[in-house]
Amino acid sequence: MQEQPEQFTFDFHKEKAEIVRQSGDELSIKMGDFAGPLDLLLYLIKQERADIFDIPIARITQRYLEFIKLMKRLDIAVAADFLVMAATLIEIKSKMLLPRDPSLPVEEEFEDPRQELVNQLLEYEKFKSAAGMLHERATIEQAIYTRGRIETDEANEEVDATVFDLLTVFQKIAERHKDKVQMEIEREEISLSDMIKDLKRRLLTDGEVSLLRIFEEMSNKRELVTAFIAVLEIVRTEHVRLMQASTFGDIILKKVEQPA
């Protein structure tokens, strides 16, 4: 069976957005992103060349529902707010079909069921234009460049740590170790070269290593000293950088990308 190709074309923000349903399995979707139900409604009113103050509610409701159905058919999740608007449109439509209550006094002004929606649309339209204006401003601003941030000690947390800062951290840990009641357990000594190897491996995998953590991992003073010397050795021989975010804070050993 030859299926009739359906074609819906939506013009939105000058970008032509369209939903083209072709026969068979082939389906191509190009769709403008409607910012909300009011946006869609305004679009439909414009497309129908209808007067916003005299919305042909039956026709617009039908078109609106068609669109929602289409979205569903295309498996596009229909936001709840779009459904709320559908309900509102149907309600207005039914209200307009009802004959006027004859018991009401003749002089009483007839309230158009569409009035609230019209007010809402007019209000929304203003902000939609304002959004367009902001968009234009932002586009113009993107052609203007200002100076980048100047590096100051305050702005840059990569304050170089000195050997003295290193010593302070070391001392702090050593101090803490002293306080701990320790059980002496025989343990294999770690050689300096093993320690350096281990540190390098960690630097390579993690990119950076917290010295506070390294030192804390050491179980006795001897290891601590070995670790300390290993850090000094790595700083001397490798492309690394010592960083300290705050005075007396933790020191981070960071690998520096080598120039090609």
Nearest distance, CB of residue 200 and another protein, angstroms: 32
- For the bound state, the minimum distance from the C-beta of residue 20 to another protein, rounded and expressed in Å, comes to 22
DSSP result, 121-143: HHHHHHHHHHHHHHHHHHHHHTT
Examine residue 156 and tell whether it contacts another protein (CB under 8 A): no
108 interacts with another protein by CB under 8 A: no
Positive/negative CA dihedral, 119, 121, 124, 130: negative
30 is a site residue for another protein (CB under 8 A): no
The reply on whether position 98 binds another protein by CB under 8 A is no
Question: Amino acid identity, residue 238?
Answer: E
Under rule CB under 8 A, residue 65 binds another protein: no
150 binds another protein (CB under 8 A): yes
Decide: is 144 part of the binding site for another protein (CB under 8 A). Answer: yes
Residue pair 252/209 in contact by the 8 Å Cβ criterion = yes
Question: Residue 115 or 129: which CB sits closer to another protein?
Answer: 129
Minimum Å distance from CB 31 to another protein? 13
Decide if residue 153 touches another protein (CB under 8 A): no
Residue 134 interacts with another protein (CB under 8 A): yes or no: yes
Backbone angles phi, psi at 102, to 5 degrees: -70, -20
- Cα separation of 167 and 158, whole Å? 18
Q: How far is 122 from 125, CA to CA, in rounded Å?
A: 5
Smallest distance from another protein to CB 42, Å? 9
- Per-residue tokens: 14: 């000058």
Residue 145 touches another protein, criterion: CB under 8 A: yes
What region, left, alpha or beta, does residue 242 occupy, with left being phi > 0 and alpha being psi -120 to 50 degrees? beta
Residues that bind another protein (CB under 8 A): 13, 33, 35-39, 79-81, 85, 120, 122-135, 137-147, 149-150, 155
